[in-house]
Amino acid sequence: MEWALAVAAILAVVAVVFVARPFLRDPAPASDRLDELAPEARERLALAEERDRALAALKELEFDHRTGKVSDEDYRAQVGPLRRRAAEVLRALEGGEQARRERVPDPGQRVP
């Protein structure tokens, strides 16, 4: 009975210390603000997702064409718009990246 309570007490102390650890390790932080994406970074992320989708769609189309699931005619009709879309997204991403680099220092990526 007593040993069980002792184990329970040790367990409780370990748990409390572990839970309090962020405050014990960093008692007076310069900033206690939780990271969140700035609107600009959210836009960049949306573009990155769109870029990955466009590139994956192109890859998928190539594979379906090679395996005979998409005819030559269908392939020619679909590949152009997909490539254009991928190029547009890549341009938008590069444009955003360039604008970001031009700003010194870089405050846009994270909210402090």
Closest Cα to residue 32, out of 91, 112, 109? Answer: 112
Please list the residues that pair with 110 across neighbouring strands: 37
26 part of the interface to other proteins, by CB under 8 A: yes
Q: Enumerate residues 6+ apart whose C-beta is below 8 A from 61.
A: 70, 75, 78, 79, 82
CB of 104 to other proteins, least distance (A): 19
106 part of the interface to other proteins, by CB under 8 A: no
Q: How far apart are CA 98 and CA 47, in angstroms?
A: 15
CB of 101 to other proteins, least distance (A): 13
- CA quadruple 44, 45, 50, 53: dihedral sign: positive
61 part of the interface to other proteins, by CB under 8 A: yes
CB of 21 to other proteins, least distance (A): 6
Footprint of other proteins (CB under 8 A):
1, 4-5, 7-8, 11-12, 14-15, 18-23, 26, 29, 31-37, 41-42, 44-46, 48-50, 52-53, 56-57, 60-61, 63-64, 66-71, 73-74, 78, 109
